Structure 1
Amino acid sequence: MNIIFSLDEINEVAQQIIAQNPNKVILFHGEMGVGKTTLIKCLAKNLGVDGATSSPTFSLVNEYQTTTNQLVYHFDFYRLKIETEALDMGADEYFYSGHWCFIEWAEKIPNLIPESHSVIRIQLLPDGKRSLNLL
């Protein structure tokens, strides 16, 4: 799936992503400030998360519950110094839990990523729009 969108269309993009039935472990790639966290917030909302969501930059993971009692985990590994830090906090248990796992900065933990996963790449275009590829 390839989409060009503006940030005011991000909620519709989240709906389209969910409609594609991706793997529940999704890696988000893109430069800082491109909108990865904003997209993850919209995905969580579209999955039924009612409460406030935020970036887990300092806590590494935030857990949310949907209105249908599904769990959604949002990881941000930007501040990780070594991969074993993610292992020490039990990342692998989250990844194989069967729940939604949205992972920012997955390149910091290459050996922990499950074989079955989807990838979203977001790129900022010169006109301010974003290009999104779901693989």
Structure 2
Amino acid sequence: MKRNFQLSQIQDVAKEVIRNSPNKVLCLYGDMGVGKTTLVKALVKELGAVDEANSPTFGLVNEYSDENNNPLAYHFDFYRLNDEMEALDMGFEDYLNSDAWLFIEWPEKISSLLPEDAVGVFLHFIEESTRSIELNVS
């Protein structure tokens, strides 16, 4: 999947990402402010979570559940991570073994911990309200 889109089309893009992803581990790459968290918000909404997504920058991870309190997704923001040991200390490997979707911002901070089949989601600025997205499937 590779396409340009307007930010107003983010919910449609989220549907496409979920439909075209061969697994549930999505690594979001892109510059600060490109819309990684905005995409995660749309993905979480598309999955039917009862809570609205927000950035877990200070807590590192947020959990989103369905109406029965079953975990649907975990959203990681590793921007402030100093090294991979911090991710291991927070139990990142346990999250990888869950059945929930994992949305990982700044995955380059934990590159050696990522599964080989993780899906790379690359976001780029085109214009003020236009972005490009590309899914890189191993």
Same fold flag (TM > 0.5) = yes
What one-letter code is carried by the residue in structure 2 that aligns with 1:48?
Answer: G
- CA distance in 2 between counterparts of 1:127 and 1:44 reads 24
Tell me which stretches of 4 or more aligned residues in structure 1 moved more than 2 Å.
66-71
Q: 5+ unaligned residues in a row in structure 2: which ranges? A: none
Asked if the contact 1:5–1:130 (Cα under 8 Å) also holds between the matched residues in 2, the reply is yes
Query: TM-score under structure 2 normalisation?
Result: 0.92
Q: 5+ unaligned residues in a row in structure 1: which ranges? A: none
| Between 57-66 and 118-127, the greater mean CA deviation after superposition | 118-127
Query: TM-score under structure 1 normalisation?
Result: 0.94
Aligned residues: 135
What one-letter code is carried by the residue in structure 2 that aligns with 1:55?
Answer: S
Please state whether the residue corresponding to 2:95 is helix, strand or coil. helix
Structural RMSD (CA): 1.4
**Percent identical:** 50
- CA distance in 2 between counterparts of 1:31 and 1:99 reads 26
* 1:18-60 Cα shifts (integer Å, max 9, x gaps): 1214310100000000000000010000001122221000000
TM superposition shift of 1:117:
1.1
Q: Which residue of 2 aligns with 1:7?
A: 7
Q: Report matched runs for 1:72-83 at 5 Å.
A: 72-83=73-84
